[in-house]
C-alpha cells in the first residue's frame, strides 16, 4: 500500500498542476465546456432510484465495446439503471446517440481523492464494471473500500505494459487485486493479469467481437449511394498521420486503370480533416470534405469523411476497407466493424490491439496484410479487379464476426449473479 499512499500524496499536492492541465485541455477543445465540472466529480443530474450499475469505458473504442453488454445488463433487470463514464468528448458524443433507455453518461472524475469521493458520494453505485485497461488507483481503491463489487471486463494488457508494472509489483497488485473478477480478452493476457496479482481471472474472448454493427442513417446512405453510383471505390478507415498519404498514393497509382475511382478517407480524429484536405490537394487530387458540406460529384477523387459517428455509413458504401492505425505503433483498430458490414479487409502489420481477431481473419483468408504504398496499391488493385475474390473474403470476414458474437453472453454468465443480487430499495432508504 506504500505505492498507493505515495500516489495519493502526489495527486493531492499536484492539484494546481492538474487543474492547469485540465483548463488547457478545455481551451484546446479536449474537454466539454458545458459539463466541465463533472471532471471534478460534480454530477450534472440526480441519481436515479433503484439499483445502479456503473460502467467505465475510457474512450470511443471501449464505449462501443460496452454497448452490447449494457443492453444485456438492462434486459437482465428491468429496474436497473446504468451510469456510463468516459474521459473524452468524442466518446460522450457517441454515447449520447447510442445509449439505450435507463442508461446515461457522465465524464469520469480526474483521479484526485476529493473529486473521486464526491463522485462516489453522489452516485453510490451498486456494482462497477471497468472495460479494458484504464486503471485509476484512487477511483478503484475507493470503490473497493465502499464494498462496491468491481469487475474488470475485456481486460487487456500488453506484454510491454505487464513488464513495466513488474517494477511496481505492490502497487499494481493493490490495484488489480481489488477486482472481484477479471475477464481477459486472451489467454496470454489472462496469465499476465494473474502474474500481476488479479484473482480469479478467466478468458472469455474479446467483447468487441460482440459489438452491434455500426449504425448508419438510412436516408443519408441512399443519398450517398446515388451520388456515387457504380464508381469503383474503397475506404481507408480510422486513419492516423501518414496513412492518408498511403491512401492518396494508392489512388494516384490506380486512377488511370480504374476510371472514376473514389477513395474515401475516414480519419480517426475528425479535427484533422482540414489539414488532410490541404495536404492531399497539394498533391493534385480533387478533394471534398464532409464536415465542410462538400458533396461528392463526378470530379471528386478523395472524399474525407471528417465527422463523428459515421464510420458505419461509409463501410456500407465500400466493400474494400483498409483498417488504419495499423502501420506505425498505434496497435490497429477494430477490423470486425468492417467485417460486420460486408467488407474485404486490409490492414497493416501492427494489430497489437486486436491480435486474436487479426489472426482469425488471416487464417480464414478474410484479410490481407499490407506494409507500404506498394503492397497497399497491389492489394486494392487485386480486389478491384477480382469481384469473386472480394466476395469470398467478405463472406469469410462475416463468418469470423458471427462466430465471435457470443462473447457478450459469456461475460453475462459471470456478471449475472451480481446483477441479480443488487438491492432494489431506493437510495434514500440506505444507511
**How many Å is the Cα radius of gyration of the chain?**
23
The three cell numbers of residue 352 are 497489437
Convert the pLDDT of each residue in 201-219 to its tens digit.
999 988 888 888 899 999 9
- The CATH class, in words, for 24-206+406-421 is alpha beta
Put the strands of the sheet holding 320-323 in their side by side order: 287-289, 302-304, 262-267, 233-239, 320-323, 344-347, 367-369
Superfamily (CATH) of domain 218-403: Glycogen Phosphorylase B; (3.40.50.2000)
Measured CA to CA, the distance from residue 251 to residue 287 in angstroms comes to: 12
Query: Mean pLDDT, to the nearest integer, of 68-96?
Result: 95
Statement: residue 394 has pLDDT above 50: yes
- DSSP summary character for residue 261: -
Query: Mean pLDDT, to the nearest integer, of 224-233?
Result: 97
Position of cell 484473482?
Answer: 199
Convert the pLDDT of each residue in 111-150 to its tens digit.
999 999 999 999 999 999 999 988 999 999 999 999 999 9
Nearest partner of 262 among 311, 299, 291, judged by Cα? 299
Q: How confident is the model at residue 431 (pLDDT cuts 50, 70, 90)?
A: very low
- On whether the CB atoms of residues 140 and 169 are closer than 8 A, the answer is no
- On whether the CB atoms of residues 203 and 196 are closer than 8 A, the answer is no
Measured CA to CA, the distance from residue 40 to residue 107 in angstroms comes to: 9
The three cell numbers of residue 203 are 478468458
Nearest partner of 103 among 62, 153, 54, judged by Cα? 54
% of the chain residues with pLDDT over 70? 98
Would you say the CATH fold of 218-403 matches that of 24-206+406-421?
Answer: yes
pTM to 2 decimals?
0.77
H or E element in which residue 83 lies: strand 81-86
The domains of the chain are located at 24-206+406-421, 218-403
Q: From the CB of residue 27, how many other CB atoms can be counted at a distance below 10 Å?
A: 9
pLDDT of residue 357: 87
Average pLDDT over the chain, rounded to whole?
A: 94
Convert the pLDDT of each residue in 17-42 to its tens digit.
999 999 999 999 999 999 999 999 99
pLDDT of residue 308: 87
Count Cβ atoms within 10 A of the Cβ of residue 266 and give its class: 0-12 exposed, 13-18 middle, 19 or more buried.
Answer: buried
Q: How confident is the model at residue 1 (pLDDT cuts 50, 70, 90)?
A: low
Q: Looking at the annotation, which residues are catalytic?
A: 62
The three cell numbers of residue 107 are 465524464
Amino acid at each position: 500500500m506504500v505505492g498507493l499512499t505515495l500516489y495519493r500524496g502526489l495527486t493531492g499536492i499536484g492539484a494546481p498542476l492538474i487543474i492547469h492541465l485540465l483548463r488547457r485541455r478545455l481551451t484546446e477543445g479536449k474537454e466539454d465546456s458545458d459539463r466541465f465540472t463533472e471532471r471534478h466529480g460534480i454530477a450534472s443530474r440526480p441519481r436515479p432510484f433503484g439499483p445502479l450499475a456503473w460502467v467505465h469505458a475510457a474512450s470511443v473504442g471501449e464505449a462501443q465495446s460496452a454497448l452490447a453488454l449494457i443492453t444485456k445488463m438492462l434486459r437482465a433487470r428491468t429496474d436497473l439503471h446504468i451510469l456510463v463514464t468516459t474521459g473524452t468528448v468524442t466518446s460522450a458524443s457517441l454515447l449520447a446517440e447510442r445509449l439505450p433507455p435507463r442508461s446515461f453518461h457522465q465524464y469520469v472524475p480526474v483521479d484526485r481523492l476529493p473529486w473521486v469521493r464526491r463522485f462516489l458520494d453522489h452516485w453510490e453505485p451498486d456494482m462497477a464494471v471497468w472495460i479494458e485497461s484504464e486503471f485509476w488507483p484512487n477511483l478503484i481503491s475507493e470503490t473497493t473500500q465502499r464494498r462496491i463489487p468491481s469487475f474488470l471486463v475485456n481486460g487487456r494488457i500488453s506484454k510491454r505494459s505487464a513488464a513495466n508494472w513488474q517494477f511496481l509489483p505492490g502497487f499494481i497488485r493493490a490495484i488489480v487485486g481489488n477486482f472481484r473478477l477479471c475477464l481477459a480478452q486472451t489467454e496470454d493476457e489472462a496469465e499476465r493479469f494473474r502474474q500481476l496479482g488479479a484473482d480469479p481471472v478467466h478468458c472469455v474472448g474479446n467483447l468487441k467481437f460482440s459489438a452491434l454493427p455500426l449504425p448508419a442513417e438510412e436516408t443519408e446512405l441512399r443519398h450517398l449511394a446515388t451520388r456515387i453510383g457504380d464508381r469503383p471505390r474503397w475506404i481507408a478507415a480510422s486513419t492516423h498521420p501518414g496513412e492518408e498519404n498511403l491512401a492518396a498514393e494508392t489512388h494516384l497509382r490506380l486512377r488511370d486503370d480504374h476510371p472514376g475511382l473514389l477513395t474515401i478517407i475516414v480519419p480517426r480524429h475528425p479535427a484533422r480533416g482540414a489539414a488532410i484536405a490541404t495536404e492531399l490537394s497539394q498533391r493534385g487530387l480533387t478533394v471534398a470534405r464532409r464536415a465542410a458540406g462538400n458533396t461528392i460529384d463526378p470530379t471528386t477523387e478523395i472524399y474525407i469523411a471528417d465527422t463523428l459517428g459515421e464510420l458505419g455509413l461509409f463501410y456500407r458504401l465500400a466493400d474494400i476497407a483498409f483498417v488504419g492505425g495499423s502501420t506505425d505503433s498505434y496497435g490497429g483498430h477494430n477490423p470486425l466493424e468492417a467485417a460486420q458490414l460486408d467488407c474485404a479487409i486490409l490492414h497493416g502489420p501492427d494489430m497489437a490491439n486486436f491480435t486474436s481477431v487479426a489472426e482469425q481473419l488471416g487464417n480464414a483468408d478474410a484479410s490481407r496484410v499490407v506494409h507500404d504504398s506498394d503492397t497497399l496499391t497491389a492489394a486494392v488493385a487485386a480486389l478491384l479487379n477480382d469481384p469473386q475474390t472480394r466476395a469470398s473474403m467478405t463472406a469469410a470476414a462475416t463468418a469470423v464476426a458471427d462466430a465471435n458474437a457470443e462473447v457478450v453472453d459469456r461475460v453475462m454468465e459471470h456478471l449475472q449473479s451480481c446483477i441479480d443480487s443488487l438491492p432494489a430499495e431506493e437510495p434514500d432508504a440506505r444507511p
